[in-house]
Each structure stands twice: as structure tokens, then as C-alpha cells.
Amino acid sequence: MRALLVAAAAALVLTAAGSAAAAQKRACPAAWAKGWQALANRVEAPVYCPTWMPNPLNAQMKGQYIDIYSIGKDRSFLVSFLEHGDVGSGDVHVNFRGYPGSTAVPRCPGPVKRGSTIPCFSNPVAHMRSNGIDATVYQVNQGADQWHILLGWHYRGSLYTVSEHVIAPYRFSSQVKKNLSRLLDGLVLVRPQP
């Protein structure tokens, strides 16, 4: 019995070491890397480059699927990729956000009283853990993330998010959650360079 426990523990250590080695070998895809590096340099903070995107999207900053590229005065950013699809094929829409130097959930305009605000991300329902990230799953989101499922996590004093729109061809939240899990698993940290 003891031998089985030792063997199982050794297998777990080797699996974890293999996963860590695989994560270290992972890199932002060459066709996308320049744009993500430029974003990290501009906001003077790390950003997360995806290594996979839902079909047909790619994460090339100046590519055909870029929808929004916005950087605020506070260095917060929104990078959005969108494909409306052919007739009947539906939308595929993924957003990446970062809030350098802030871990607070941002506030969005409220729907009731002029000047009121509400959390931009709310109704946390679960956690997804992968790639060294413990992300909270939010189901009620505002602004560009409305009708999206959103993952939010902290890294070194900053909040980061990735979200996907729940709409055809990904009508069911389970498919969107699978996509988000795969996105989370493939994220690569890109640090600013001088």
C-alpha cells in the first residue's frame, strides 16, 4: 500500500512538473506577439496573450477580427475580437481587459438613476483554475461584456478579464465555458519591455 502511495505521489509530481514545463514553453503565437507586446509596453504592465481563440477568431491586433482597441488614461484596456459570421452562422465575440494597478471591479453606468453606477462584473457563480490562474466566473456583466460570461482574476495588484458572448453559434453557456476554460489554459503573460 505504501509503495502505491509513493508511486502515486511521484506521478503527481511528474505530471505537475510536465505541466509547468509545457506552460514555460508556451509562447504568444508569432503572428500575434508584436501586437500584444506593443500593448504591454503602452500600458506599462503585463498583459495576457491567448494561444488559442474560438473559431474563426485570431488575436492579431491589426487583423480582420479586431473590434475594439481602447486604452484609458488610467492605463486600463479593452481589446475585443468579433466575427459577425455569414447569414445564420452567428457572432463570435471575445474581450480581453486589464486594469493595471487596480484589483477593484470597475463601475459602469447604472440603468435606473442618472449618475448612478453598478459593478461592471457581477453575479459570481464559480471558479476556474488553470495555468496558475484562479479566475472567478461572472454571469452578469455590463458594457462591452454584456451578455458575456466573464472570467476575472488578479495578478500582482492588477485585475484581468477575458469574456465571451453567449450567442449563436455558442448558444449554450456550457460551450462558452469550455471555450473560456481553453482560453484560460492557453494564456501567456507578456511583460513590458523598455
Q: Tell me the DSSP string of 5-27.
A: HHHHHHHHHHHHHHHHHHHHH--
Look up cell 493595471; give the residue: 100
H-helix segments, 26-75: 30-43
Residue 32 dihedral angles phi and psi, to the nearest 5°: -105, -20
pLDDT by residue, tens only, the chain of 194 residues: 333 333 333 333 333 344 444 444 689 999 999 999 999 999 999 999 999 999 999 999 999 999 999 999 999 999 999 998 765 557 899 999 999 999 999 999 987 777 889 999 999 999 999 999 999 999 999 999 999 999 999 999 999 999 999 987 776 678 898 999 999 999 999 999 98
**Strand order across the 92-99 sheet:** 66-71, 77-83, 92-99, 158-165, 148-155, 133-141, 121-130
Radius of gyration of the chain (CA): 18
pTM of the model: 0.84
